Structure 1
Amino acid sequence: MRGMPRPDVRPGRGAPENRTPTRFGLAVREADGDWLDAREEQDGEPPPLRTTVTIEKPKTIIARNSSPDIGFDRSINAYRGCEHGCIYCFARPTHAYHDLSPGLDFESKLFAKPNAPELLRKELGKPGYVPRPIAMGTNTDPYQPIENHYRITRACIEVLLETKHPLTITTKSDRVLRDLDLLVPMAEQRLVSVALSVTSLTPQISRTLEPRAPSARKRMAAVKRLSEAGVTAWVAIAPVIPAVTDHELEHIVEAAAEAGAKGVFYLPVRLPFEVAPLFRAWLDEHYPDRAEKVMSIIQSMRGGRDNDPNWFTRMQGFGPWAELLRTRFQIAVRKHGLNQEKMKLRTDLFEPPQGPQLRLL
């Protein structure tokens, strides 16, 4: 049986709520707050939520991390917020830092950083800079719809190609193909790999789970085209949601192999901070028949909690259900001959960007 009515639910959006978090001492916003469009009903439903973009001018663009369970130590995020609207996105809580909701605000009130390429060039040119792969798409998607207009991701890749700097990309969008002219020459020098995230092959699930992301069919087609062009492509089954998408695990691995992916990896769903109540509300809205079952399995992998923040286990989960998932994944990978070798991107080709004075030949 469906839970309480949710007046914030908007057609084509992922989050069913827009409450402001209280962990920073901010007042909780109600449904008639100034962050929401006017409540004019259209055929009994609220009007579609408009997307707005605010220009942000950061002082640096390379973010650093020292987490031992993450395979990169630096990343670039050209945008804050993401219009794809994936309900499980663990970047949602970052919107709270701006006094915005990790719910609907996260997917409709976006921030763009047009000066990112300029900052990147400056940071790569600093004396003593030591190159290691830069990750794109670790927080919000670098190829979400507003990239069509701002092209910040592309401009950053242009700088990385020019300087022969290694790059990894994770995205849910086939828009990555628009930058093939940059990615192919980088791939020829072993400077880039791309991972397409595929959560479900079922359109009915994807429409509620990640409402504004391109279809899984388009993403798999992008994997195929990248592979045919010589760009190393992976498929990320991220996240796996028990009792909602886990039954598709083997099918996604098979589809990845057919598309020519180099390999696959998966991540069990994570529910940090405000993501947990949003996810619970989403379950109540779309899967009320199994909401308790889903959360029970998640908690069985997370030590009885909605989320496990501990290094290593947060990415894998533990317990019988997590072990079963690992076993199924390993069997599917072996069956389809994936993950045969690790690809190490080159760092020895790096050339610092030229300053005002050209290099001497």
Structure 2
Amino acid sequence: MKAIHRSNCFHKNGEENPCHISNNPYLIAFGVIEIIFSQIPSFDQLWWLSIVATIMSFTYSIGLGLGIAKVAETGKIRGSLSGISIGTVTSTQKLRSFMALRDIAFANSYFLILIEIQDTIRSHPSESKTMKKASLVSIAVTTLFYLICGCIGYAAFGDMPPGNLLTGFGFYNPYWMVDIANAAVVIHLVGAYQVYCQPLFAFVEKNAVKKFPNSRFVTREIKIPFPGLSPYKLNLFRLVWRTVFVIATTMISMLLPLFHHIVRLPGPLGFWRLAVFFPIEMYIKQQEIPKWSTKWVCLQILNVACHIIAIAIATAAGSVAGAVLNLKSYEA
């Protein structure tokens, strides 16, 4: 949202104009939108939501085409094999490869909602067959797309690419095309927020009903008629709890500088838990592998190694290094 504003400002007032604007108005606007959408029960299971997300994904892939055009324009591939230009390099800058590992793990955070997706699939054919095929296709496509975007972005901008690839094209025409791509990201993330939060909402509300079955505040539903539509069932507990949650997350994102670096700290831990830990444990259980056998020990070593080396150390170091580097030029 801020990138769209700055892009239009640059083209209206010239590149010399700093076009500085606070993040907070856009964060507040995003929070207000999420408060409204969070009151829609099972919003994450609407059939058309995945279609919109897919369309938006193809739309903001405009950045890939612009990256190819920039490489073709300059006629050379920027960047270096080491990930940073040879010369005087600070200790913090040497951790940029860890930042890359962090971003790779964070980009695959869809594992957090994989079980939720599987839970909505019909029983025929079986969920396991459907999800195995869906996972194979989706992982192959997204991995290929991410690699192409990463390589083209690196070739276009070299060792210092922008955190958001699309913001790197702010001075390029047609700038309205970049605005469309950034708008697609916004629309995608509006829905993504709900996809991630709705299972949490449902979990809290389900347990609240179990714990306070006689509370009218928790269990009562007020039917509000809508012309031509089914009546909306307003639950006061849902209204208060979800609103407070969205306000809290919005306030935290406003108070924390470089929020995108902060949220990447727990993100890869979730990736390890669902992409490495659970599959290994389920395989051990399914195959009835004896405890302390050679196979069991090797699997546990793999589990611990992925957690400690690839996730805990590398991604944490990458997040801290990214925050330190960007704090030097941070503008609220």
Report the TM range for the smaller structure's normalisation: under 0.3
Higher helix share: 2
Higher strand share: 1
TM-score normalised per structure 1? 0.22
Greater RCO, 1 or 2 (C-alpha within 8 Å, sep 6+): 2
TM-score normalised per structure 2? 0.23
